[in-house]
Amino acid sequence: MTQLTSQERVAQLHQQINQYNHEYYVLDQPTVPDVEYDRLMRELIELEQQHPALKTLDSPSQKVGGEALKAFTQVTHQLPMLSLDNVFSEDEWQAFIKRIQERLGSSKALAFCAEPKLDGLAVSLRYEHGVLVQAATRGDGSVGENITENIRTIKSIPLKLRDSQVPEVLEVRGEVFMPKASFETLNQQAKQKGDKPFANPRNAAAGSLRQLDSKITAKRNLAFYAYSVGFVGDLAGNQQDQWLANSHYQRLEQLKTLGLPMCPEVKLLADQNQCQRFYQDILNRRDDLSYEIDGTVLKVDDIAAQQQLGFVARAPRWAMAYKFPAQEELTVLEDVEFQVGRTGAITPVARLKPVFVGGVTVSNATLHNQDEIARLAIKIGDTVIIRRAGDVIPQVVSVVADRRPVSAQEVVFPTECPVCQSPVKKREDEAVVRCTGGLVCQAQRKEAIKHFASRKALDVDGLGDKLVEQLVDENMIGTPADLFKLTATELSTLERMGQKSADKLVNALVAAKQTTLAKFIYALGIREVGEATASNLAQHFLALDKIQAATIEQLQKVDDVGEVVAKNIVDFFNAQNNVEVVTDLLAQGIHWPEIEVKSADQQPLTDLTYVLTGTLSQLSRNDAKARLQALGAKVSGSVSAKTHYLVAGEKAGSKLAKAQDLGVAVLTEDDLIALLAEHE
Ligand code: D41
């Protein structure tokens, strides 16, 4: 690439930023993540500082916020709506505190009003004589758009304040946002109609507020939380701040008593040292909140101190957005590789130029299947947006089309298995392509054996993934049954395997032969037969040969077994090589105790439905479920009017709330343990 002159680069930045502004503010369809926009804007401002001659009146740096849409009338805010400065790290946050203390000339404890930073749109609501008369977007901070009709449709915004003892004019500032659940529903509807979904809840909220037809807005389920006050005074324009409390937090409570919604997470912190903990706590609970946030906003609580600190440019010196690490970043797709899973599914994996996103460095992301590659229209060499939210595995969100290099390469799906060269096949009803090699395929073999030995299956202590791969690569084993034929002498020939470890592994294999029917069924790795289904099959049929001989119809009588799973089970036992492995395993001495059939009086929880939620600390969720079921209880995944008991562990979320709503009895983990102890 040739080096651009500063002038050329500034022109390029103008063009790019203007384009991104248009996509973001007018189309509500951004094509790059916020961090990229921020980087370009920062670069432009720096260049303009170095070369003041390049700072023109039409530079995008000269206006913040969106251009007003033509169709809405304009509103000049009686007091400007300020913007917020950002910090991204604890160091930057501490530097902010230090600056404030220096300005205030005191290092005394400073109380903060701490709020989540809602990812929505800032608006100003104007009440005259307690009646909502006007609502406007923030716009550029001085002039916004009149969106009164749309705001009136938001259910949580009062059209009339609850108290008549208010100043003639009261402006309330806050954030309009779309709750996560409403966003999901809206996007699902969009997909069904073939419309383009919104990139995130903020764009959806923006798109909904910019409807010229407020009937559309009314259907969108928007919400609002107040975060400060604007002008307070009389109609002649005289400010009457004496009506307001002298604490920011108390002002929000004043608004609350007037009927304006206040975010329930807002806290008054007694001193600055509690801010970091607040930030961390909100970050930890981010996924459990019903609305999207992108950080916290921390505000000096004392209004006198706020006034003493004043403003820089358009941002107050007394407030700071302490933002979470960006969840979306740009990087380059360097290659696509194909992995073969346990059931032969061939998964395209994106190899990415490493990028820091959502708090970790990401260099791989799954591309799921062929349909996903088609949906993304992705090519190798493309610049892509990567998203990593919470503990969810990184996803490729989209391709930045205008950054495609001429050298970009088509992604070619293999027609044969990249590991065993067997042909691949795609079932009509599935999106995935599979290797047809079965246990001939080294990859499937490895995965099948890893699964067989894993903790929830036969739980072979000390047989890790790497060791399985080594054993298969050395041709020492080909099936799970071969594991039990390994001798300590053979094992000790492996690299990094001493006599002691070899003996230990052989002992672990002997111990693993004693199992349960449920674990054995699960260990076979039949497609879509997870732990719960395996346990249901064992309870229902009681013996392996009964399951092996069952028809699709008979299998469907089992809880959780539908047509697809029933067919997978029949297919599995119809394959000769699978039957051979099962026979071989039994010949190696795998065994399990007979399942006791409990009589009705041994099943005291028959007819009762339980739901488990949150984290249990003394037993696993699966264990709890199996033990409740053994006592005759039904264990369901969701709370409804038919639920008898909800067992709520740590960090129980929406299910607990729903149970409380419905008046369903709630048990603690200790209650559950006592219940099991009583009946088992
Ligand atoms: O939740 C928010 N997005 C939020 C935004 C908040 N909790 N507080 C805010 N406080 C302010 C000041 C300090 C200027 C009253 C804000 C914003 N401003 C804001 N939102 C958009 C631009 C500025």
- Taken in order of first residue, the domains within the chain and their CATH numbers are 6-55 (1.10.287.610), 86-323 (3.30.470.30), 328-410 (2.40.50.140), 438-512 (1.10.150.20), 517-587 (1.10.150.20), 600-679 (3.40.50.10190)
Greatest mean pLDDT among 52-61, 355-364, 655-664 lies in: 355-364
pLDDT reported for residue 68: 43
pLDDT reported for residue 496: 86
Longest dimension (CA), the chain: 96
pLDDT above 60 for 178: yes
Q: For 90-125, how does the pLDDT look when each residue is reduced to its tens digit (9 = 90+)?
A: 999 999 999 999 999 988 999 999 999 999 999 999
If we measure between CA atoms, which residue out of 361, 336, 339 comes closest to residue 351?
336
* Residue type for position 665: A
pLDDT reported for residue 412: 94
Mean pLDDT of 193-197: 88
pLDDT reported for residue 65: 46
Is 139 a pocket residue for ligand 1 (Cβ < 6 Å)? Answer: no
Is 175 a pocket residue for ligand 1 (Cβ < 6 Å)? Answer: yes
Is 319 a pocket residue for ligand 1 (Cβ < 6 Å)? Answer: yes
What is the Cα Rg of the chain in Å? 31
**Nearest-atom index, ligand 1, CA of 315:** 14
Please choose from 82, 178, 297, 322 the residue to mutate so as to test ligand 1's pocket, defined by most ligand atoms within 8 A of CB. Answer: 297
Q: Provide DSSP, 496-549.
A: T--HHHHHHHHHHHHHHTB--HHHHHHHTT-TT--HHHHHHHHHHH-SHHHHHH
Q: Is 117 one of the catalytic residues?
A: yes
How many angstroms separate the CA atoms of 74 and 70, rounded?
9
Taking CA atoms only, the protein residue closest to ligand 1 atom 5 is 117
Give bridge partners of residue 384 from the DSSP assignment.
331, 399
Q: For 486-534, how does the pLDDT look when each residue is reduced to its tens digit (9 = 90+)?
A: 999 999 999 889 999 999 999 999 999 999 999 999 999 999 999 889 9
Cβ count within 10 A of residue 543: 12
Mean pLDDT of 61-73: 63
Mean pLDDT of 122-150: 94
Is 47 a pocket residue for ligand 1 (Cβ < 6 Å)? Answer: no
For ligand 1, the distance from its centroid to the CA atom of residue 264, given in whole angstroms, is 16
For ligand 1, the distance from its centroid to the CA atom of residue 183, given in whole angstroms, is 22
If we measure between CA atoms, which residue out of 350, 420, 348 comes closest to residue 383?
350
Q: For 291-320, how does the pLDDT look when each residue is reduced to its tens digit (9 = 90+)?
A: 999 999 999 999 999 999 999 888 999 999
CB 308 within 8 A of CB 296: no
pLDDT reported for residue 211: 87
pLDDT above 50 for 177: yes
* Residue type for position 33: P
Considering the candidates 117, 323, 379, 446, report the single residue annotated as catalytic.
Answer: 117
pLDDT above 60 for 66: no
User: What average pLDDT is seen over the chain?
Assistant: 92
How many angstroms separate the CA atoms of 277 and 273, rounded?
8
Is 199 a pocket residue for ligand 1 (Cβ < 6 Å)? Answer: no
* Residue type for position 131: V
pLDDT reported for residue 63: 61
Is 297 a pocket residue for ligand 1 (Cβ < 6 Å)? Answer: yes
Residues 6+ apart with CB under 8 A from 368: 347, 348, 431
